[in-house]
Structure 1
């Protein structure tokens, strides 16, 4: 271990040494530490041990960008001949002693029984808290459960609040497993709020912002920030009270005050948002660069770079600018001038050389690699990034800025959580470079400093499993383990482990309920007879009366509403408390559940708008009179004429006044009457303490119901994943992928398809939906199985590029609906809907069109375009492997070959 420690320019922390020691002793290890604390050292020790012991080590990451970065790091240490890379679309030295790969690749190897797994001694699972991710998380659990017992696992996680639970599960399924936790940051972090152009410490004093995060109650908020908040609130109240002038805005104050917070006229703070250019200048003057500024919007990141650059702000010296220019040029050597022009490379390069850049998923991989390398040199000073940068990319900074504490989650704007805040600010403070890191939150109108302090002082990031059986998982487990062992394996998952803990809790509640029930039952004893028998008769009467009343009310409301919708203008109806009336108008409200209504005029000239809750019985017309088109309820003569016509009509038909008394269901009424007679005849009915006993008996009945509910809860949760697995198998059996416990040819094909709509894709192959399509047409149709549109307003609806792809996609959608109906029948959640939003772009690119034309017609960023193209290529490759020799396999290979060009093929190891 001493030799290994010499590889680092800093002394190893105690938790790092503990983790390495546990690994050297032959145990698996879970390391949970703050972002930037250096937990990867333990993972790198696993690589070191594998080399020393002449065994293999796989280093897995959740995303390709992390795999690529780790590959380059390990190549630098061990040389290219010893290190390989596997990321789905990249395969470099795959049989090397050390292989870096995405977790999906390892999962696929395990299911395929790949010979590459031979002599595997260690697997490092970096960013293992990804198993909470809804889409990619289940893969982690498949790997942990599927690896041979002889393999030592190193699980590296951000600090999570339920780390011991996760450790307990790992011990349960992997044997000896140690948990090493560190809450200590290697570089102290100081928290600030930028108000206007002034940096203010978040906490009082310096001590609470040292390496250990302060407890929430121990963290005292800076009084200056509280004064800013109070002053802003006072200004808002005063503005609301101020008399309005003709303009409606009241008097305007133009004094600039001190300028630290913006306006401070008349002692009232009037803070204004700090511009992005001002943020750059303030950080530069305070010597807090390099910095990462998190903006939860790709468009916002790009706009921020333009704003800073166009403001004429330069953060680099001449040497740094030249270095950044060289880095940029080197990374785009494989791209044509036409592609560079389409990507607006010169604009990107100019801003980069001024020390400013963006980093987000919508960028071209080569551009992201430029930003990452430029930032690592210290020459790039300010990066505007989305939160995806916080997910493991090694880009530490001196300072992290969070522009807003609210982000859009795809459905609504929500506050960021303490866990997310910790993850973002964890980038601040470069070990071995900075003596301290800084986190800066920009002041926003209405901000509460105490809420910011709460985010900065809490660590609440629970790890929740997202594991659930899929069709592909099911056929692979059936092929390798069989039904019974597969069910056992699923019941060993972290998801079931967490469920079982809730089952244990529910069981504990159930035991307490039984004890309470026994005690309560003793208090119900009556010397005249079985009082619980008497109490249950009373309870049944109450239940029947309540249910009857509820059902009657629901039925009445439905019939009342229906009677209103069936009325027409001119109908004569009897309205309780109003008498005979004429319907003037009918309609449906657009709010409050859309209740129907009818406007009527009664014999005393009263005009009312009736709704269902105004009635006791349905309105039944007994006749009709004509309501003139120009009738006006305000005109006395119109009213008299209409009501006179109603009177004449009533004289003709001579209707009976409807009986509005409520009618009770006769059978239920008879049952209630019989029960009441039985109650009266029961011996306990004469007990002088009857009502005292009844109180205790009611408690017994309530406890019995709670006990039943708890028991049902336990039964429903236990083996819940195995139940889901059985439902998956039922769907597969109905569609012919399983014959009993054996896989059919279709089932063996499905084993090779890893897609959220895997079963739909397999059914399309079986039904020849893809047959006869050209490579561009197939690319377009395959894209609908994996693409997910980002919500946009006013966008032109997408379409399939030609009639052939349109027909194929229509057949695909019909299969999706058919599979969905089968899933619903077996109580399975339906797979997401196919999305044609990328079809035309995929077709154009596979047809050989230039990048500039494809991007112009798709309205998509270059990074998104490349990512989705590579996913189409990956799916085409899976199908080529799955379907066997033939025309479809050739077409799939042609899809991959035609799309793997230009920006898609360039610098694949940088994605």
Structure 2
């Protein structure tokens, strides 16, 4: 879309106040906005998208209207509030986050997106006179936790409000814009893929720095720098030679040691490439990298900067209790800052993290080791971004970076108005393929996928505002359904294409009259039945192996038939976990550990029993050696590996026998060209199954959100939150609870489960519905430091258990499991214990929370307690929740809230 009135009145006034000239994409977007369109702006990190949002603020103020500026996270809201306050003055700018309310009636209010969503559901008076809404970082709608909020806001905002959506570069901007046009009316899509500061890509091999791309590279043909390829090949040959010389087998060296971080930073400093952010995909990795630098002689700051560094440190941490500084690692952190070094990750105390951000932006810290969370919106550009590895843990497995993730991380390199160019440096390791790096760096694919799904709170609010029929219609207008419907178009085309091919193959088989289609159908049914029986055989065998492991008792001697642990073993600690028992054993070769079904292709049978001491510390070598010796002396013999006669399930199956008889009796079975036609028939069957799968996908995708909504409605109706399509009093309470476990919380309040708890006890119980352990431990059984906590935790888990059963019956996604990992920690903190004791009592056993995580979870508990305070009908619970909030909001939890 092109706009010609490039020198319109308000845009001329606005641009005259800026210290720089507007780029073409900024001018195009601002012109569209002034002409009355909503706009979607997609541009790289640091390109200046927010100028368009600031122009919306200018237009609102010029017309005596209102503008809400929304961001996905509190830190960004605080940052934007500071920027706009500096420009327009404190009396005209307000801030609304879960923690803070400053000047909420101002004409310009910065807020988190959740706050605006809640306003829309409550039909807040604050929406009167609203003319513009800026949605910064709108690509967050792909976020599985926060994403749905964006779509709720876009769908619910009055149509006369102009929407300014600011997004990172996404490859399907036109699709997103087409949806916005559908639900919001006239929307201009402005896409700019030009980085304001050019980015140079490098690979660092040892101490040598190479350009990644050859000078002859083009958009059509990406070439890796010849010198880099030659040097890496030479380096790999040397490594292989060294490995053979040590008796190794060649290949990538297992003992490869990367260049120490201090030397990497010294090299970057020498090349004039600081300040730099080094992305390391773990918090412990960031802290370890910083510690490595502190052990070296690396100094990146100037002596004359010390006073300025201390002033910023004092501004952010001056209110921290002195007694807590040692626990927080304050002195090591401060020493690192004095040397121009820092870490940055979510495990740090917010006050520390914000001090690092300010110091880095002001050039007082020149090297930061950060997790990828820094790439999400925080304004910390650098001259150089370093990637140590191109693999990260995604919560389930170690996966290679996607082109979108690579682009987002390296997008931090190059500071507009400071650097002529930015630099991305990948540190070479033996497993790094330079061609793959070039592919990552040259691909700009970052598709936006909706994460919108109806939940209990959303559904109850929809019903309350517009009734069931209109709610279904609104869900069908969501970006999620829009994308699903577009995928259906592709599936339908695929079905049509396959049906054409099926007709062609049927003709080759002589058509429906030849009878050969019936014959190949019989062959296919036989193959499927054989597969089914084989699967059943494996399932039965595993079931028998599970039962046998569960039945083992302490002292039983068994023979592990195969694998590295083959031989005799004695059971030290049985395990009756349903489906996956893992008893602790000691083998005759002194290995102690847990075995599983995978170690037993045939069920474990006790060979006999062995007397064991009452207490066994299997971790000590002496104990293992003595027990293994006793095991070998028992006289039991591990039988040789037996070849178990395969049960003849297939031969015994009546259905399979009938099918085989029908096949042999079929006229086509005796044709001379049977095998030739059967090969065509196999293609026909494969294509027919694929087509049927596609039809099922179409059926599942069409109106999928509306069907989920109807299931939620049925469950809510059963539980009395809705009656005959109307929201009940209990339902209205649920409508005001915004949490992942919203329905569990509403049920607990309705049943009075938390009545009688003290403020610290209520904090502990509430934590099980927000806290998530970093390791997957989940609910570990009813536990807690006091009897009332244990009673309330047990009753809360019962509510969750009932709900999970209902969700399974209604075919709904399960509500997440309660997690008791924070109960004792937040209880201790709320009753006034010190930070050190509260930290030790928090998190997974043997793995206490970091200070940053402790503060973050305390604030999550505060947020839930605030909601309990405002929604509970029982005055005692409401009062206790308010006291609990005040008890938690102290010390490190109260400092630098963001």
Question: What TM-score comes out, normalization by structure 1 length?
Answer: 0.81
Q: Is the 8 A contact 1:31 1:179 kept in 2?
A: yes
Equivalent residue for 1:752, pick from 730, 736, 757: 736
Q: Is the 8 A contact 1:544 1:672 kept in 2?
A: no
What is the distance in 2 between the residues matched to 1:818 and 1:599? 39
Match of 2:636 in 1: none
Equivalent residue for 1:538, pick from 508, 511, 519: 519
Q: Is the 8 A contact 1:321 1:355 kept in 2?
A: no
CA drift of 1:540 comes to 5.6
Residue by residue, what CA displacement relative to the aligned partner does 1:593-650 show, whole Å, maximum 9, x if unpaired? 73348999xxxxxx975444x24559xxxxxxxxxxxxxxxxxxxxxxxxxxxxxxxx
The structure-2 alpha-carbon separation of the partners of 1:522 and 1:874, relative to structure 1 and needing over 3 Å to count, comes to same
Q: Is the 8 A contact 2:520 2:678 kept in 1?
A: no
Match of 2:602 in 1: 595
Q: Is the 8 A contact 2:506 2:517 kept in 1?
A: no
Q: After superposing the two structures, state which structure 1 stretch, 588-597 or 824-833, moved more.
A: 588-597
What is the distance in 2 between the residues matched to 1:553 and 1:391? 49
The structure-2 alpha-carbon separation of the partners of 1:662 and 1:560, relative to structure 1 and needing over 3 Å to count, comes to farther
Q: After superposing the two structures, state which structure 1 stretch, 842-851 or 704-713, moved more.
A: 704-713
Taking the TM superposition and a 5 Å limit, the aligned residue runs for 1:461-480 are 461-480=446-465
Q: Is the 8 A contact 1:10 1:432 kept in 2?
A: no
Q: Is the 8 A contact 2:782 2:793 kept in 1?
A: no
What is the distance in 2 between the residues matched to 1:222 and 1:374? 36
What is the distance in 2 between the residues matched to 1:547 and 1:418? 40
The structure-2 alpha-carbon separation of the partners of 1:598 and 1:589, relative to structure 1 and needing over 3 Å to count, comes to farther
What is the distance in 1 between the residues matched to 2:648 and 2:469? 60
Q: Is the 8 A contact 2:467 2:725 kept in 1?
A: yes
Match of 1:883 in 2: 872
Match of 2:751 in 1: 767
SS at match of 2:437: helix
SS at match of 1:84: strand
Equivalent residue for 1:363, pick from 345, 348, 364: 348
Equivalent residue for 1:831, pick from 806, 815, 825: 815
What is the distance in 2 between the residues matched to 1:460 and 1:896? 45
The structure-2 alpha-carbon separation of the partners of 1:275 and 1:137, relative to structure 1 and needing over 3 Å to count, comes to same
Match of 1:898 in 2: 887
Taking the TM superposition and a 5 Å limit, the aligned residue runs for 1:332-411 are 332-411=317-396
The structure-2 alpha-carbon separation of the partners of 1:111 and 1:196, relative to structure 1 and needing over 3 Å to count, comes to same
The structure-2 alpha-carbon separation of the partners of 1:754 and 1:538, relative to structure 1 and needing over 3 Å to count, comes to same
Q: Is the 8 A contact 2:77 2:95 kept in 1?
A: yes
Which of structures 1 and 2 has the bigger CA Rg?
Answer: 1
What do you get for the CA RMSD once the two structures are aligned?
3.5
The structure-2 alpha-carbon separation of the partners of 1:662 and 1:126, relative to structure 1 and needing over 3 Å to count, comes to closer
Match of 1:649 in 2: none
Match of 2:234 in 1: 231
User: Does 2:123 align with 1:113?
Assistant: yes
Equivalent residue for 1:459, pick from 440, 444, 452: 444
CA drift of 1:549 comes to 5.2
CA drift of 1:56 comes to 1.0
CA drift of 1:885 comes to 5.1
Q: Is the 8 A contact 2:67 2:133 kept in 1?
A: yes
Match of 1:867 in 2: 856
Equivalent residue for 2:481, pick from 496, 503, 525: 496
Q: Is the 8 A contact 2:520 2:681 kept in 1?
A: no
Q: Is the 8 A contact 1:28 1:154 kept in 2?
A: yes
Equivalent residue for 1:102, pick from 98, 103, 112: 112
What is the distance in 1 between the residues matched to 2:767 and 2:781? 16
Match of 1:576 in 2: none
Match of 2:466 in 1: 481
User: Does 2:241 align with 1:241?
Assistant: no
User: Does 2:438 align with 1:449?
Assistant: no
Equivalent residue for 1:273, pick from 228, 247, 258: 258
Equivalent residue for 1:853, pick from 830, 837, 843: 837
Residue by residue, what CA displacement relative to the aligned partner does 1:663-712 show, whole Å, maximum 9, x if unpaired? 563x88678768987x66xxx99999999999988887776665544333
The structure-2 alpha-carbon separation of the partners of 1:706 and 1:351, relative to structure 1 and needing over 3 Å to count, comes to closer
SS at match of 1:342: coil
SS at match of 2:818: coil
Residue by residue, what CA displacement relative to the aligned partner does 1:355-384 show, whole Å, maximum 9, x if unpaired? 112221112222122112112222222222
What is the distance in 2 between the residues matched to 1:292 and 1:88? 30
Q: Between Structure 1 and Structure 2, how many residues are aligned?
A: 803
What is the distance in 2 between the residues matched to 1:408 and 1:72? 35
The structure-2 alpha-carbon separation of the partners of 1:366 and 1:511, relative to structure 1 and needing over 3 Å to count, comes to same
The structure-2 alpha-carbon separation of the partners of 1:151 and 1:769, relative to structure 1 and needing over 3 Å to count, comes to same
What is the distance in 2 between the residues matched to 1:407 and 1:561? 33
Taking the TM superposition and a 5 Å limit, the aligned residue runs for 1:533-572 are 534-535=515-516, 537-539=518-520, 541-542=522-523, 545-546=526-527
SS at match of 2:462: helix
Q: Is the 8 A contact 1:292 1:382 kept in 2?
A: yes
Q: Is the 8 A contact 1:770 1:808 kept in 2?
A: yes
The structure-2 alpha-carbon separation of the partners of 1:599 and 1:905, relative to structure 1 and needing over 3 Å to count, comes to closer
What is the distance in 2 between the residues matched to 1:223 and 1:108? 57
What is the distance in 1 between the residues matched to 2:256 and 2:73? 41
Equivalent residue for 1:63, pick from 53, 73, 87: 73
Q: Is the 8 A contact 1:301 1:359 kept in 2?
A: yes
User: Does 2:710 align with 1:723?
Assistant: no
CA drift of 1:791 comes to 2.2
Q: Is the 8 A contact 1:597 1:609 kept in 2?
A: no
What is the distance in 2 between the residues matched to 1:805 and 1:107? 33
What is the distance in 2 between the residues matched to 1:902 and 1:597? 56
Q: After superposing the two structures, state which structure 1 stretch, 517-526 or 491-500, moved more.
A: 517-526
Match of 1:16 in 2: 26
SS at match of 2:201: strand
CA drift of 1:756 comes to 1.0
What is the distance in 2 between the residues matched to 1:562 and 1:85? 59
User: Does 2:274 align with 1:297?
Assistant: no
SS at match of 1:81: helix
Q: Is the 8 A contact 1:727 1:828 kept in 2?
A: yes
SS at match of 1:203: coil
Residue by residue, what CA displacement relative to the aligned partner does 1:736-777 show, whole Å, maximum 9, x if unpaired? 211121112221111111111111111111222111111111
What is the distance in 2 between the residues matched to 1:560 and 1:844? 49
Q: Is the 8 A contact 1:750 1:762 kept in 2?
A: yes
What is the distance in 2 between the residues matched to 1:663 and 1:194? 65
Equivalent residue for 1:219, pick from 211, 219, 222: 222
Q: Is the 8 A contact 1:561 1:611 kept in 2?
A: no
SS at match of 2:601: coil
Q: Is the 8 A contact 1:596 1:611 kept in 2?
A: no
Q: Is the 8 A contact 1:537 1:675 kept in 2?
A: no
CA drift of 1:432 comes to 1.0
Q: Is the 8 A contact 1:396 1:427 kept in 2?
A: yes
Q: Is the 8 A contact 2:651 2:657 kept in 1?
A: no
What is the distance in 2 between the residues matched to 1:184 and 1:407? 28
Match of 2:40 in 1: 30
Residue by residue, what CA displacement relative to the aligned partner does 1:800-851 show, whole Å, maximum 9, x if unpaired? 2222111111111122111111111111121221111111111011112232
Match of 2:155 in 1: 145
Q: Is the 8 A contact 1:291 1:381 kept in 2?
A: yes
SS at match of 1:218: coil
Equivalent residue for 2:309, pick from 315, 324, 339: 324
What is the distance in 2 between the residues matched to 1:693 and 1:421? 50
Q: Is the 8 A contact 1:510 1:711 kept in 2?
A: yes
Residue by residue, what CA displacement relative to the aligned partner does 1:90-123 show, whole Å, maximum 9, x if unpaired? 1111111111111111111111111111111111
The structure-2 alpha-carbon separation of the partners of 1:401 and 1:6, relative to structure 1 and needing over 3 Å to count, comes to farther
